[in-house]
Chain A
Amino acid sequence: MKTFRTILLAAALVLGLATASQAADMVRKVDSFDFLADYSGSMMMKNPALGMSKVAAAKQVLSAINNTIPDLGYKASMHTFGPGAGVVSYGDWDKAAMQAGIASLKTDQPIFSRMTPMGEGLAANSAAYAGMARPTAVIIASDGASNTGVDPVAEALAIYQAQPGICFHIVSFADTEEGQAILDKIAGLNHCSVTVNGADLLADQKAVDQFVADVFYTTGETEEALVLHGVNFAFDSYALDEKAQGILDEAAAVLKEKNAAVTLEGWTDSIGSDAYNAALSQKRANAVKDYLVKQGVPSSSLAAAGQGKSFKYDNATEEGRYLNRRVELLFK
């Protein structure tokens, strides 16, 4: 008996250590996320296979996802479309507040005369998405029915083109081929997308765990970037000096070898106004992109984004200001 208890204790210790080690190894895959719930008439309809309305199932699944996301310092928001509304304001992710937001969705809204403007729903949130910390995950819980307004696939594509670092993930409650086809097309726009069947998540917590692991955190893979200091420009200009061109020649070789899509971010120190630095950093990011393209890096794999002032390093010292003035090439 005593031996058995010792074995149990040892096993518990090993399991405990393994769990602790796993938790310690979790790192954020995204810095922010948005739950985008389809709130249209078709979602109010009962799905016999689910045994409830699709919106009720979506609420349960989003709630399970929210409860499973580890506390790694995300920022978050929640929106609906059909009609479009902000449910949870963007800010530091608060699990309880998100649960309350999900719970606030009604399941007894009218079905008829409530079309599904999915494309408009995406377009309406585009500005909000632009302000979210990158990388950003948008989790769309929908049946894919889109029967009014602009093309949702085209809208998703427009957001991808304008906003590097965002990714749409699909939790499908589709019960028509057309609906699933639309969701599949959105997922097919970018290889970053994870698509799951809402019914699978409803039935199995392990499927929820897997979805959360795929979208929200990683235990191994992490963000990767090439950081360049000394890419100097003439004062108040965005003309690259000769030395900067030499550095970018070397960077182009690294990029060509890597052959990956890259977001190019330009950062400045804190001297000058916000508006001035924002504009200057964008022009400089564009100049760096143009130069890299001339060196043979495919233009389609580079997205340039001026980030303005950086406060990562201490702007009170020359050393810190030098480190803040940098170009980061983030590999996707």
Chain B
Amino acid sequence: MFRHYLMGAAVWCMLIGAPCAADAAASETQVQAELQSFVNGYVSKTNRSMTCSKARPKVFKRGGKYVATYTEIDPQSTSAKMKKSNSKHFDYIATLRYEERTYESVGNTQKAARGGKFQCVKIRRLTELPRYVKGKWEN
């Protein structure tokens, strides 16, 4: 009996062409999934674009020692929540939070600094506001 009601509702939705709650929910779930995928890609892209990365740390002299340093976003620290946007320019807006960590290693030579144990010396807790525009997330 219940199944008949559901089928009827679905047919009614198709006939009048109105957005149904179920469709809207499905769409929102899809946008949420796209957000997660966007965040993963954004963190990779941003880490890849860092001038001083883990693969290419910057080495400089501090006092009598060499210091190798790099900065990267900790992928484990990311979290993103989205909501409907009031703006006419975006359908959804997200709050993306993550930690950007700066690491240093100190050594007597440039090589020793590059190859040494890196210690986190600075953490920045950052928030960004990605937007869902014309069917895709951007920032």
Contact = CB atoms under 8 A, between A and B. Distances in A.
Interface of A: 23-28, 71-73, 92-97, 222-230, 242-243, 246-247, 249-251, 254, 311-314, 317, 319-320, 323
B62 A72 contact: no
Contacts of A95: 63
Given A92-B62, A312-B51, A225 B93 contact: no
A28 B122 contact: yes
Nearest to A229: B139
Given A227-B126, A230-B138, A246-B88, A73 B49 contact: no
Interface string B69-99: 1010000000000000111111001010001
Interface size range on B against A:
35 or more
A313 B49 contact: yes
B122 A222 contact: yes
A227 B128 contact: yes
A313 B50 contact: yes
6 contacts: A27-B120, A28-B121, A71-B106, A72-B104, A313-B50, A314-B51
A83 to B, nearest CB: 28
B104 A319 contact: no
B70 to A, nearest CB: 11
Q: Is chain A's interface secondary structure helix, strand, loop, or mixed overall? A: mixed
> Residue among B49, B63, B64, B86 with the most chain A CB within 10 A?
B49
Nearest to B127: A226
Given A28-B122, A92-B61, A223-B124, 18 more contacts: A23-B119, A72-B122, A73-B69, A73-B104, A73-B121, A223-B125, A225-B126, A227-B128, A229-B128, A246-B87, A246-B89, A250-B129, A251-B129, A254-B129, A312-B71, A313-B46, A314-B51, A319-B48
A225 B49 contact: no
B123 A92 contact: no
Contacts of B104: 72-73
Nearest to B138: A230
A313 B51 contact: yes
A285 to B, nearest CB: 18
> Residue among B45, B48, B93, B124 with the most chain A CB within 10 A?
B124
B114 interface: no
B67 interface: yes
Contacts of B45: 319
Given A314-B51, A323-B49, A228 B128 contact: yes
B49 A314 contact: yes
A94 B85 CA distance: 50
A319 B121 contact: no
A222 B89 contact: no
A248 to B, nearest CB: 10
B125 A224 contact: yes
Nearest to B86: A249
B129 A228 contact: yes
Nearest to B99: A222
A223 B88 CA distance: 33
A92 B67 CA distance: 11
Nearest to B93: A250
B22 to A, nearest CB: 29
Given A317-B49, A320-B49, A224 B124 contact: yes
Contacts of B129: 226, 228, 247, 250-251, 254
A249 B87 contact: yes
A73 B123 contact: no
Contacts of B89: 242-243, 246
A222 B127 contact: no
> Residue among B48, B121, B123, B129 with the most chain A CB within 10 A?
B129
B49 A247 contact: no
Interface string B1-25: 0000000000000000000000000
A311 to B, nearest CB: 6
A223 B123 contact: yes
